[in-house]
């Protein structure tokens, strides 16, 4: 048989829970008029990834593959290329020639962002990626790379073509 104190504790817990329910029922309904008004997202919202640039406009990604290694869903694909004197894309020895994220597999866990030593990959606030075609859910480097900062010069690519080559 239940103790009288246990019964009183259980009854007070139910009354307390019902009080929260009644309070919420009486509160006014809040409706966001999306898409007519922009969605209000929290600052820490984990949206579509962005590849960042430094203050000089160079890509921060140095193709270290740590983000791909940290990804539990294996949705990040990277191909590295070497920076040269003629082609300088990032501040390191290498840069990501190919950087793809498959959003049909991504779980937005943020492990890639935490693993990046150069803060090259971050979460943006984009969320409108729904699609009927999964091939459109593969975002490439060009889709995620942020614009060159105001006043910065874009990376200079000067290809040297040998005489007589076609």
Both 122 and 62 in one domain: the answer is yes
Tell which residue, 54, 125, 134, 62, has the closest CA to residue 99: 62
Tell me the whole-structure pTM to 2 decimals: 0.74
User: What is the total count of domains within the chain?
Assistant: 2
Q: Do the domain assignments include residue 21? A: yes
Give tens-digit pLDDT for 2-28. Answer: 688 899 999 999 999 999 999 999 999
Alpha-carbon distance 134 to 49, whole Å?
A: 17
For residue 60, the enclosing domain spans 49-144
pLDDT at 87: 86
Both 63 and 115 in one domain: the answer is yes
Q: Do the domain assignments include residue 44? A: no
pLDDT at 30: 85
Alpha-carbon distance 93 to 98, whole Å?
A: 16
Separation in Å, CA 165 to CA 68, 71, 87, 162: 38, 43, 19, 6
């Amino acid at each position: 048989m239940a103790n009288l104190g246990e019964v009183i504790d259980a009854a007070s817990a139910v009354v307390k829970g019902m009080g929260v329910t009644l309070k919420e029922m009486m509160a006014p309904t809040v409706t966001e008029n999306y898409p007519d008004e922009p969605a209000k997202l929290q600052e820490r919202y984990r949206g579509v990834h962005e590849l960042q640039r430094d203050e000089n406009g160079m890509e921060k990604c140095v193709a270290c593959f740590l983000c791909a290694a940290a990804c539990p869903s294996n949705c990040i694909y990277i191909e590295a290329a070497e920076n040269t004197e003629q082609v300088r894309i990032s501040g390191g020895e290498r840069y990501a020639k190919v950087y793809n994220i498959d959003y049909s597999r991504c779980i937005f866990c943020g492990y890639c962002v935490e693993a990046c030593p150069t803060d090259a990959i971050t979460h943006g606030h984009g969320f409108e990626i729904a699609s009927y075609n999964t091939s459109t859910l593969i975002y490439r480097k060009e889709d995620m790379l942020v614009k060159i900062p105001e006043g910065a010069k874009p990376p200079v690519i000067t290809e040297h073509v040998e005489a007589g080559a076609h």
